[in-house]
Amino acid sequence: MSLRLAVLASGRGSNLQVILDAITAGTLDAEVVGAWSDRGDAQALVRARDAGLPAYAIRPRDFTDRAAHDHALFGALDAAAPDLIVCAGYMRLIGADVLASRAGRMINIHPSLLPAFKGLHTHQRALDAGATEHGASVHYVTAELDGGPVIAQARVPVLPGDDAAHLSARVLTHEHPLLLETLRWIAAGRVRLHEDGVHVDGRRADGPLQLAATRRFA
């Protein structure tokens, strides 16, 4: 049975698009049950609707506080009965109380080699720190911002003359296959979250899966 994905996105939606394209191409055994955004003008919602999928804006300003917004959002998500919630450029903090019951059923893609550069402006911060290597991570979502167990990473060189825009564009081209490959592993039942961390093929992983570099994605 294919993996039911609910996608959360705040903006452009290129990661959502590669998921949709892979499903259409038959290279990802999943279905997207809907897209949700905190912004009515998110391009991600347009992409979902263009694919014939339900797409909703649930805007924080329509609620009295974060908890009320979280409960509305997660109530809607639960009604769609996803197997996995995928944060693909979702730029809002989510409260611990709604996350607690969803451990191992929600992932996020973040543009850095976590635990380095949690939060915003990761590319500029990597440049400012003089990093020679940067990249992206897919991790399980916990109440700690960008702090949940890391499943997989893609490493990207920082090149002489890079600015944040160039580095961001290079990382994005690696984010897309990273997210797809991670979803394939989850869809195949090869990756799960246990109390002691991420398990791959039934054994506790000794570190994040590395896209391409170490060929641990097969």
Please confirm, yes or no, whether 110 is among the known catalytic residues. yes
Tell which positions 166-185 bind ligand GAR, by CB under 6 A: 172, 175
User: Token digits for 95?
Assistant: 């409260």
Least Cβ distance, residue 214 to ligand GAR (angstroms): 21
The answer for residues whose C-beta is within 8 angstroms of residue 72's C-beta and 6 or more apart is: 58, 63
Alpha-carbon distance of 70 to 212, in angstroms, equals 36
Q: Which long-range contacts (CB under 8 A, 24 or more apart) does 158-163 make?
A: 158/126, 158/127, 158/131, 158/132, 158/133, 158/134, 162/127, 163/127
Residue range at the interface with ligand GAR (CB under 6 A); choices 6-14, 28-36, 52-60, 197-205: 6-14
Q: How far is the CB of 203 from ligand GAR (least distance, A)?
A: 28
Q: Tell whether residue 106 is a contact of ligand GAR (CB under 6 A).
A: no
Pairing relationship of beta strands 209-210 and 203-204 according to DSSP bridges:
unpaired
147 touches ligand GAR by CB under 6 A = no
**Position closest to ligand GAR via CB:** 89
Q: Strand, coil or helix: what is 153?
A: strand
Could you say whether residue 137 binds ligand GAR (CB under 6 A)?
A: no
Chain contacts with ligand GAR (rule: CB under 6 A)? 9, 11-15, 44, 88-89, 91, 109-111, 136, 172, 175
Q: Which sequence positions are flagged as catalytic?
A: 110
